[in-house]
């Protein structure tokens, strides 16, 4: 497999998430810049910029402080090895030991926190062109976010090493931080340092991660407990992937074909490619109907492999065509196994269109209508310029943070160190953390049009964690008529906040 990275939505997905489509197809990428952060001594850390703001949410004025700057990562000899850029929003006048604090990051790996920051939960939000989440023509604008989580939690947005403005110091190879274990340790150490320096040990503590950020959050649940005795109250997993086997279309791994199928169906329904019977169904009912086939007849067929009977094979071909809108001949020629990148291209090939990976409602156009897969992801292109343009204006104008460094919204961090000869699976880490800390609650957020981390993958992961029934009740799943970045529409962003408020109330006793 080509090793390339996707964008999440964070649009930023991440390794295998990114390991998958973008690695097989050209995606916007460039090497990370590793300019000196200070131009001076390696161990010097600039003072943060501190600004004061207010926002009105639900008729209540919230005064808050924004802190923008770096946290140093040090070696055992106390020398600075890297500097992690962060932006923290803290409500004024409230006791820190009562106020929750939430550490937020996106995925990639190689993504900054720009997407959740500027699109979902911070006090500011990009202005979309319409209520459907479309991007306007540049230049772009932003404004107060009425759905900001600042109304019930302080927020700390983290850019892992090599992303955003975060860099290693001169003489330290960035690759030392590029890997699953290395990333968990560096972000975990940041969280400990922030908690200590800002006297937040007594605060209820939460993590929110998106895409590969859900992988990171699950890994951190164990790392923070084991390394520092830091027990969390809750974790929000936005567009999650806990086991990379579930998203890796590879020889000998038939599982993704079944797990992606319900999202193929919801996508085909959205683009009017299904029968009147299926078109008339609610999206949730359609999803359940296709899940029944995927976990039953189709799973049985896939397990039979070459021994599947002609009768069973024909039944599967008919059903796959019925649920996806793809022709029976195409499905037969694909050996009854349609990988995601093929679906992106094939569904609307006759219309000269491709569908997005992060959000299959978005449409793109290729140079021609031949080929197995699309040349780019239209759901990434739709938001990349909007988020980058707004953030670079906002951080300098409103947060008074000056830097000549390019802000790496999404950068190439390959090679990314992953477990050898196995799929990365953090579900056991999360299970162990939840078992040892039975107060830990987890909220899983799924988009019906997300073809980077499909909703059935999330369900399957939760159902195969091996949790005892009492702990299993600590996990809730929420669904959105949206894609990977379910917050790009006002309605879904409002639903995300409402779900979060309920979740936080349940996680803080």
Domain carrying residue 357: 246-375
- The mean of the pLDDT values for the chain is 91
Q: What pLDDT score was predicted for residue 75?
A: 87
Q: What pLDDT score was predicted for residue 43?
A: 56
Secondary structure element (H or E) that encloses residue 441, with its range: strand 441-447
Residue for token pair 């890796």: 248
pLDDT (tens digit per residue) in 120-169: 999 999 999 877 778 899 999 999 999 999 999 999 999 999 999 999 99
Average pLDDT value for residue range 92-97: 89
Given a cut of 60, whether residue 18 has pLDDT beyond it is: no
pLDDT (tens digit per residue) in 428-437: 999 999 999 9
Tokens (6 digits) for 152: 């019930």
Looking at the domain assignment, is residue 1 inside a domain? no
Question: Does residue 212 share a domain with residue 121?
Answer: yes
Question: Does residue 124 share a domain with residue 42?
Answer: yes
Tokens (6 digits) for 424: 């990365």
Q: What pLDDT score was predicted for residue 267?
A: 98
Lowest mean pLDDT among 222-226, 390-394, 487-491: 487-491
What is the reported pTM? 0.92
Q: What pLDDT score was predicted for residue 135?
A: 85
Q: What pLDDT score was predicted for residue 98?
A: 87
Looking at the domain assignment, is residue 318 inside a domain? yes
Q: Beta strands 205-211 and 124-126: pairing type?
A: unpaired
**Residue ending a domain, choose from 321, 350, 375:** 375
pLDDT band at 25 (very low <50, low <70, confident <90, very high): very low
pLDDT band at 7 (very low <50, low <70, confident <90, very high): very low
Looking at the domain assignment, is residue 364 inside a domain? yes
Average pLDDT value for residue range 368-381: 94
Q: What pLDDT score was predicted for residue 10?
A: 33
Q: Are 339 and 320 spatial neighbours (Cβ–Cβ below 8 Å)?
A: no
Q: What is the CATH number of the domain that holds 393?
A: 3.40.50.1820
Q: Are 459 and 477 spatial neighbours (Cβ–Cβ below 8 Å)?
A: yes
Given a cut of 70, whether residue 12 has pLDDT beyond it is: no
Question: Does residue 188 share a domain with residue 65?
Answer: yes
pLDDT (tens digit per residue) in 203-238: 999 999 999 999 999 999 999 999 999 999 999 999
pLDDT band at 87 (very low <50, low <70, confident <90, very high): very high
**152-171: buried (b, 16+ CB within 10 Å) or exposed (e) per residue?**
bbbbbbbbbbbbbbbbbbee
Could you tell me which residues come within 8 angstroms of residue 112 by beta carbon, excluding any fewer than 6 positions away? 106, 159, 163, 164, 407, 408, 409, 410
Lowest mean pLDDT among 7-11, 315-319, 331-335, 396-400: 7-11
Given a cut of 70, whether residue 392 has pLDDT beyond it is: yes
Given a cut of 70, whether residue 309 has pLDDT beyond it is: yes
Q: Which residue has the higher pLDDT, 413 or 46?
A: 413
Question: Does residue 472 share a domain with residue 346?
Answer: no
Nearest Cα neighbor of 135 from 381, 323, 433, 466 is 381
Question: Does residue 167 share a domain with residue 200?
Answer: yes
Q: Are 217 and 208 spatial neighbours (Cβ–Cβ below 8 Å)?
A: yes
Q: What pLDDT score was predicted for residue 29?
A: 39
Q: What pLDDT score was predicted for residue 344?
A: 98
Looking at the domain assignment, is residue 331 inside a domain? yes
Question: Does residue 177 share a domain with residue 28?
Answer: yes
Looking at the domain assignment, is residue 464 inside a domain? yes
Average pLDDT value for residue range 369-377: 95
Average pLDDT value for residue range 170-194: 96
**Residue ending a domain, choose from 316, 349, 375:** 375
């Amino acid at each position: 497999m080509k090793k390339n990275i996707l964008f999440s939505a964070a649009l930023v997905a991440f390794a295998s998430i990114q390991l998958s489509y973008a690695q097989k197809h050209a995606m916007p990428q460039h090497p990370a810049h590793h300019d000196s952060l200070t131009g001076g001594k390696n161990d010097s850390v600039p003072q943060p910029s501190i600004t004061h703001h207010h926002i009105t949410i639900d008729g209540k004025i919230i005064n808050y402080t924004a802190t923008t700057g770096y946290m140093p990562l040090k070696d055992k000899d106390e020398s600075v090895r890297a500097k992690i850029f962060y932006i923290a929003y803290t409500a004024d006048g409230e006791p820190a030991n009562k106020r929750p604090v939430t550490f937020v990051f996106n995925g990639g790996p190689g993504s900054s926190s720009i997407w959740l920051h500027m699109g979902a939960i911070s006090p500011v939000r990009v202005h979309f062109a319409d209520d459907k989440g479309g991007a306007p023509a540049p230049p772009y604008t932003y404004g107060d976010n009425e759905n900001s989580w600042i109304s019930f939690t302080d927020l700390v947005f983290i850019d892992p090493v090599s992303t955003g403005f975060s860099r290693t110091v001169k003489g330290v190879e960035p690759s030392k931080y590029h890997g699953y274990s290395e990333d968990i340790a560096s972000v975990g150490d940041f969280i400990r340092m922030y908690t200590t320096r800002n006297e937040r040990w007594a605060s209820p503590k939460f993590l929110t991660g998106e895409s590969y950020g859900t992988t990171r959050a699950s890994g951190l649940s164990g790392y923070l407990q084991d390394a520092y005795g830091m027990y969390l109250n809750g974790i929000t997993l936005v567009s999650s992937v806990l086991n990379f086997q579930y998203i890796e279309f590879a020889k000998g791994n038939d599982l993704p074909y079944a797990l992606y199928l319900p999202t193929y169906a919801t996508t085909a329904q959205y683009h009017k490619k299904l029968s009147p019977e299926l078109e008339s169904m609610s999206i949730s009912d359609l999803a359940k109907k296709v899940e029944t086939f995927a976990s039953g007849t189709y799973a049985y067929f896939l397990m039979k492999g070459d021994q599947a009977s002609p009768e069973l094979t024909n039944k599967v071909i008919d059903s796959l065509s019925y649920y996806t809108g793809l022709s029976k001949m195409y499905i037969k020629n694909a050996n009854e196994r349609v990988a995601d990148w093929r679906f992106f291209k094939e569904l609307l090939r006759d219309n000269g269109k491709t569908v997005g990976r992060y959000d299959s409602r978005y449409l793109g156009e290729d140079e021609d209508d031949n080929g197995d897969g699309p040349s780019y992801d239209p759901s990434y292109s739709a938001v990349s310029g909007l988020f980058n343009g707004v953030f670079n204006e906002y951080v300098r104008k409103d947060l008074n943070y000056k830097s000549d460094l390019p802000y790496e919204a999404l950068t190439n961090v390959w090679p990314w160190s992953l477990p050898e000869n196995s799929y990365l699976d953090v579900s056991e880490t999360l299970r162990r953390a939840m078992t040892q800390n039975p107060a830990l609650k987890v909220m899983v957020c799924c988009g019906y049009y997300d073809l980077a981390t499909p909703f059935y993958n999330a369900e399957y992961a939760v159902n195969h964690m091996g949790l005892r029934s009492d702990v299993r009740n600590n996990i809730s799943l929420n669904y959105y008529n949206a894609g990977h970045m379910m917050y790009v529409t006002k309605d879904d962003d409002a639903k995300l906040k409402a779900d979060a408020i309920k979740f936080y109330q349940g996680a803080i006793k």
